[in-house]
Every structure is written in structure tokens, then in C-alpha cells.
Structure 1
Amino acid sequence: MSLATASVVVVSRERPGALVRCLMALAQQDHPAFEVVVVADPAGLAAVAATGLAVKAVGFDEANISAARNLGLAQAAGEVVAFIDDDACAEPTWLSRLVAVFADARVMQATGFVRGRNGISFQWRACEVDRFGEDHALDVPEDRVSLHEGSGARAVKTVGTNCAFRAAALRAAGGFDPAFRFFLDEADVNLRLAARGGLTAVVPLAQVHHAFAASARRRADRVPLSLVEIGASTAVFLRRHAPEAAGALPQAVVRRERARLWRHLLRGRIGPLRMRALMAGLRAGWAEGLARRLALEPLPDSGAPFAPLPGTGPRGGVVLVTDRAGRAAALDQAGRAAGARIVTVLVLSRGFRRHRHGFTDGGFWLQEGGAHGKADRKGPVFWRTTAALRGEDERKRLAPVRPVWSDTPLDR
């Protein structure tokens, strides 16, 4: 089965290093015909230019992710348009798995699973969102695609760092609403598209790793710097999808945000005065959102030519298993081979230290932890194994989303 052409849109602001790492992972995708559109601030565009990657670059330096995504959509010439955050790195099979479901003409949107900072635990699996903006966990199989109907009242929520849409359908629905500068922007699109008919695909094996990097809205420890846009987006969302509930800031939202801040306060990350100021920002945002313009019109088709990223497509993979003493040599070897193959380095130390896993600035994947330590968070706390057997176990765990088997060793 041939895959539809695709455009991957990456929006970035004030994170040039993370953006470059994201693009390095995209360059190793096994989809053979896709382009990359980067919408970024001047620092981000300069960093992209320095990589030499043949991407479409659009300048934009405002704190409005919906407006930025629409600029990317305007340049996207693929049949399917996918979105990933700049602080995320995609598994090599991510895009092909996400795009494949659009071979079914009924599918209008799709989403995959997201792993968190440790590269092991899932940050996001699947859920539905209702017209009040509330999430509801969705029980889906984790080893195969599932298709879901929706409506303007409830639909599958496509997480913003791992989602794709039939480009024509997204444009016909008006794209992303710039009134949502941040928060609930994808949920709004999901309900609007579901109301038009069609299916949403949940693709568990289309996976990205999301770091939750620091931004203008949150610190690196995930403490929010402002709740204004959460309040504003909540007001906009309810005005459109549940106007009868837009009379006052919902107490459910107040309780949720207050509980989140209490957790940070109890960990010593913020103080009471800061907590009070953030809650005041939530209320101020609500008032602002009540006044934002609500108007959407269909977006025109992209007149831009399709500009596929060179050198993508299937390639072999290899896992280098080493101990701490051999770590430096293995990393050097991996860096020299990265790109030509999908390289994963597994560094096993003595003991029971939990594993961490992620994509590196060197262009390869790195997993580190104790030879007897926990990797899969559902697995045993203590692995009774040898280093060789542990390497095979980790290959099996990674194989569904990444090429890891090769009979040809890397040159040393």
C-alpha cells in the first residue's frame, strides 16, 4: 500500500535547540514522501538554516499557536498534514503509521501515543473531549489502530504534539481558530471536524517522545507562569460549543487549576502569593476570552509546491549494548553512524536504577539504566537477567516502533 504524501508542521518559539533535535528525528522517518514546514521565530529559523535541512521555513514570532499552525497549513502541500511540537522527537515509524490510516476515505483525523520525559512512561494514550472541554479516558487496544465516530458534542481528542488531519478537511473546517492562542485548540478542531462526519483514528504505535520543555507559559518543572490563556481559551471554547455554560468561569476549571498549583506549592516550587496571582490570571483570562472574536471561514488550498525532505524512507537499525566503561566509545560509534541507520545505544550499569530513554543531539537514541532496573513501568521492579538477555528484552520492547535488528555490525 502506497502512503499518501504528507506535510509535517512544527511550530517553534524561543527553543532553537529543541527544534533542531526535533528535525533530526524527523529526518530519520521511514515515510518516503513528506515535507517539513517550520513556523518559528528568528532564532529558530537561524538554527534551522544552520542544519542545511531542506524544509519550508515561515517566520512568525507571536504567542499564538493556532495562528502559527494556520501559517504552516498554508504552506503544506501534502494530502495529510501532521503536527508535532518542537520539544518532541518522533519514533522513526511515527509518520508512516499516522498517515497510513488515511487510506480509509472515512478517516478525517488521527492521533498517536506520547511518551513522557523519561522516554518510557506514557504521557498520553487516548481520550475523548466533550463540548464542555472535559476529557474522558478512552479504552483502546495498545497494539492496533482503532476507528471512532464522534459528534459536535463529543469526539476523540487528538493531542497537539502527535496528530494528523486530512488537509482538505481541515481547511474546509477553517483550520485552527486563532482565538485559541494556547489550550483547547486541538479539542475545538476535533469537535468541529467530528460534527462534519468522518472518523478519527487512534494509532497507538505512532509514537513521539515529549519533553515538556520550558516556554513562555511554563517552567522546566512544569510550573505555569500564567493561567491567562487557559482562562481565555475556556471561555472561547464554551461560547462556541456549550454557550449555556459560558455565564461564569466553571468551578470544575477553578478546582482543577487550584489543585495543580497546590501540588506545586506542596513541593516548594511556588509560594502562596504566586499561587494567588496565577489564579487571578485565570479569572482575568476568562474575562478576556468572553470578548474575543468568534469567526471562522474555510481556508484556501495551499498553492505551494510539494517539497519532500530528501533522504527519508525505510532504513536498517541497530542496538549497541554496552556497560558504563564502554559508554564513551559506543556514543562515538553511534554518532558516526546516525542517520545512515537508526541507532540505539543501551548503556547498562550495575544495579537496579530505573531506565531513561530519549533521542539525543547526536542523532541517535540513548537508553540508560541498571542491568536489573525497571524499564517498562508495567514490568517487574527487579529483572533477574544477564546483560545479553536484557539487551534482547529491550530490542523486543522497542521493535514495534523502531528498527532494531541488523545482521551487519557498525564499523568501529
Structure 2
Amino acid sequence: MSDALRLSVVVVSAGRPRALDRCLTAVSQMRTTRAEVIVVADSDGMAVARQHDYGARLTLLAQEGANISAARNIGIAAAAGEIVAFIDDDAVPEPDWAEAMLAGFENPAIAAATGPVIGRNGISLQWGRMAVDVQGQDRWLPAGDQIRPDEVPKLHGTNMAFRREILSRTGGFDTGFAFFLDETDLALRLGSAGFATAYLPGAVVHHGFAASARRTEDRVPLDLFDIGASSALFLRKHAPDSLAAGLARLEADQRTRLLRLARRRKLTAQDMRKLMESLRAGIADGGARQGSVSIVAPCRRSFQPLRDAMPPAMGFTNGWWFSAHHLRLQAEKRIADGQPTTVILLAPTPRKHRVEFTQGGWWEQRGGLFGPSDRAGARIQPWRYRARVAAEVARIFREMPIAF
């Protein structure tokens, strides 16, 4: 192995085997030979990972309880790469994600990095360049705006990476944060130790917000205990003088959120009451909870790259919506042959566009010929078919090689 940096990608998964399978398919299409993949999962996730086409190349580790920080630490301990990256099981990386992450760490001053997270429509930015303060309050950073003295760069949990040696020296994730604010706690610890974090625009992840034990598929909360517990611990740890004010703000913010959902008829009054009770129970628990950060031991296993050779250039096809069945069958065959593929389907309407990485393993964009893809564009746009396809190809693929 050369002196080139190597990436250990850690995927933590619980209760979402179907999402994990899709995530691993996307990860297997990354354009790199310098990445290994470590899956820390429950029994259902382990079964799916073993059966995956690249299952023999995965490092599979069992979760030890419902604690995302502990699971991430298990992944760090097994990471043989110089850089350790994290992506959620309900997210997928764009093909150049791994190499974009590694390129960012060519700067020896960088200890951690994060990148853009695309939302459910597959086009709009869900999270971008942001800052967060010691009270856990985050804000977007417009172009040219700088981090304030009381802030650090915000790390997006589904799209972040670290130098393993830094984690070995400063410790991994605090297991007091079973869910929520775990990455923000680590970002503040790294910042206070003087380590630099980079925002890498080319390291793009698409995040689906899949259903979990804490929320429904349409992001309606089912339980707020962990949010309350982690918030209380976080404020005690990083802003003890603002603990009461911070917890009051948390309750007010969550109540506003629930009222908004109730107005949309997503919650009943009884639902709201139970959720606020779970939040307060969590706050009480977090008020006494002790954090725990352990130094990460050196890895004793060999690096196991997911791929020995680059995948083929991205295949591309397009057509009208009535050809969808044929084009999807064609995409399915290409995927079976090991050919990454993107399908663009247009309809003669002004419908907005959506992009998704399908369960079958190909990227698919759907929308109207006259509708916007970028939501900042005009609601109705005058396009001819060929020009529209060319414009979308240029937007999607950027610098990635494609095969027509």
C-alpha cells in the first residue's frame, strides 16, 4: 500500500435493513479503490450486509445496545484507514464522495470535514455550510461569512470524516449521547483543542430521513426522550451557566414544532401531550447522566478495500415517462452487469423534478420538461427535450465521467 490516504467508511444501522441495503449499494459504486466499509448493525442489518454483493468485502460488527455514539466508536476502533468517515443507513453518497473526502484531508491542517447534505427531493440542500455554538444552536453561513469566536463548524452526522489519529488522541464519541448532539459535542471538543474542520462542497450525500423508532417516514416524532436527555447533558457539559435558559428554549422550540404538525393534522392533542412528557422525562434523565469518552486504541486489522478496481463510468439513459418501464428494466440489467446508471424521465408538464437512488441501485431523475429542477428556478420554464436533457446531465454529473 502506498502513502496515499485511505478511507474507512462506517455505517451504523438499526431497524432499517432495507435502507442499509440501498446505502451499501451506493457505497459500492463509489469511484475509489481507497475505501473500506465497516457496518455496525443489529441482527437484521447484519443479515442484509452478509447477503450483499460486496458482503465478503465488508467488515461486520454487532451493535451493543441502542446507542449511536457507542456504535460509532466500535466502527472507529475497527477502522484501518487514516481517515474515518460516517454516513447514515438512510443516506447514500454521490459516486465521488470518498475521493472528495480524501482530497480534503491532503491538507495536513485539517482534522475533520463535512459536506453538503441533499434533502428528500434529491436536489435541494438540506444542510450546508453551518456553524454551531456551545448551546447547540446552529446557523447557516452565507458565502464569505466566518465562524464567530463562540462557534465551531457544524458537522453533519450523516456526512462527516475525521483523522483517526486525532480521534485516538482526543477520544471518539461521548457515549452519554445515545442519540442527538453526539457529533456536535465532538465538534466542540475538537474546536476547543484547536483542531480545524473543513467544509468540502464536493463531498455530497443524499439523506432520506427514513422512519425509525423515533420518527415516522414523514418526520413526525414518536418520542422526544433522547432529544431531551442529550440536550440536558450537552448544556451541562458545554454551557452550564445557560442550562435553565437552554432547556426552556428547547421546550418552547419543541412545542412550536409539535403545534405546527398538529395544524397539519399530523398529531392530536393527546399525541402532543405524550411527546412533551417524553421530552421532560428525557431532560430529567439527562440532568443526572454522566458522559463517557474513551481513547481509541490502535487498529490491529489490515485495511480491506471494498473495490480493487474503479467501477465503470456512469451509464446514462433518458426518455419520456411512458417509457419508464422499459428504461428501468434496462437500468436493472446494467446494474446486474456492474454498470452504475442514471435514468432521466421527463413528462410534458411543469412538474418539479426529483432525484433518488433507487432500491434497484440506479439514480433516477423524474420531472416535467417545463418544470424546475433547481428550486430557485422559474416555476415554468420553456425547454426543448434535447436541451433540457443536456442541461440536466451537466447539472448532475459535473466532473464525473459518464458513458452514453
TM over 0.5: yes
Q: CA deviation at 1:353?
A: 1.1
2:19 maps to: 18
1:81-138 deviation digits (Å, cap 9, x = unpaired): 0000000011001111112111111100000101111101111112111011111211
Q: Does 1:106 align with 2:104?
A: no
1:33-77 deviation digits (Å, cap 9, x = unpaired): 110000000000001111141100001152210010001111111
One-letter amino acid of the counterpart of residue 29, structure 1: M
Instruction: Determine which of 386, 389, 392 is the counterpart of 2:387.
Output: 389
Count how many residue pairs are aligned between Structure 1 and Structure 2: 400
1:43 maps to: 44
One-letter amino acid of the counterpart of residue 133, structure 1: G
Q: CA deviation at 1:297?
A: 3.2
One-letter amino acid of the counterpart of residue 19, structure 2: A
2:356 maps to: 358
How far apart, CA to CA, are the structure 2 residues paired with 1:247 and 1:149?
Answer: 26
Runs of 4+ in 1 over 4 A off after TM superposition: 148-151
Task: Say whether the 8 Å CA contact 2:312–2:338 is kept in structure 1.
Answer: yes
Task: Rate the CA distance shift 1:401–1:230 in 2: closer, same or farther, 3 A.
Answer: farther
Task: Rate the CA distance shift 1:61–1:368 in 2: closer, same or farther, 3 A.
Answer: farther
Instruction: Determine which of 186, 200, 207 is the counterpart of 2:204.
Output: 207
Q: Which moved more, 1:379-388 or 1:394-403?
A: 394-403
1:73 maps to: 76
Task: Say whether the 8 Å CA contact 1:149–1:200 is kept in structure 2.
Answer: no
SS in 1 for 2:131: strand
1:359-381 deviation digits (Å, cap 9, x = unpaired): 01221100111111111111121
Q: Does 1:128 align with 2:131?
A: yes
Q: CA deviation at 1:312?
A: 5.1
2:216 maps to: 219
1:270 maps to: 267
Instruction: Determine which of 314, 332, 335 is the counterpart of 2:332.
Output: 335
| TM-score for both structures, normalised by structure 1 | 0.93
Q: CA deviation at 1:273?
A: 1.4
1:251 maps to: 248
Task: Say whether the 8 Å CA contact 1:218–1:225 is kept in structure 2.
Answer: yes
How far apart, CA to CA, are the structure 1 residues paired with 2:154 and 2:309?
Answer: 29
Q: CA deviation at 1:319?
A: 2.2
Q: CA deviation at 1:305?
A: 1.5
How far apart, CA to CA, are the structure 2 residues paired with 1:401 and 1:228?
Answer: 44
How far apart, CA to CA, are the structure 2 residues paired with 1:311 and 1:317?
Answer: 18
Q: CA deviation at 1:198?
A: 2.5
Task: Rate the CA distance shift 1:380–1:233 in 2: closer, same or farther, 3 A.
Answer: same
One-letter amino acid of the counterpart of residue 15, structure 1: R
How far apart, CA to CA, are the structure 2 residues paired with 1:249 and 1:377?
Answer: 34
1:7-406 superposed matches below 5 A: 7-53=8-54, 54-60=57-63, 62-140=65-143, 153-247=150-244, 250-311=247-308, 313=310, 315-338=312-335, 340-400=338-398, 402-403=400-401, 405-406=402-403
Task: Say whether the 8 Å CA contact 1:350–1:370 is kept in structure 2.
Answer: yes
One-letter amino acid of the counterpart of residue 249, structure 2: A
Q: CA deviation at 1:149?
A: 7.2
Task: Say whether the 8 Å CA contact 2:131–2:147 is kept in structure 1.
Answer: no
One-letter amino acid of the counterpart of residue 10, structure 1: V
How far apart, CA to CA, are the structure 2 residues paired with 1:115 and 1:325?
Answer: 28
How far apart, CA to CA, are the structure 1 residues paired with 2:225 and 2:275?
Answer: 8
One-letter amino acid of the counterpart of residue 370, structure 1: G
Task: Say whether the 8 Å CA contact 2:23–2:92 is kept in structure 1.
Answer: yes
How far apart, CA to CA, are the structure 2 residues paired with 1:187 and 1:69?
Answer: 14
Task: Say whether the 8 Å CA contact 2:39–2:58 is kept in structure 1.
Answer: yes
SS in 2 for 1:4: coil
How far apart, CA to CA, are the structure 2 residues paired with 1:20 and 1:66?
Answer: 22
Between the two proteins, what is the percent identity of the paired residues? 42
Q: CA RMSD in A?
A: 1.9
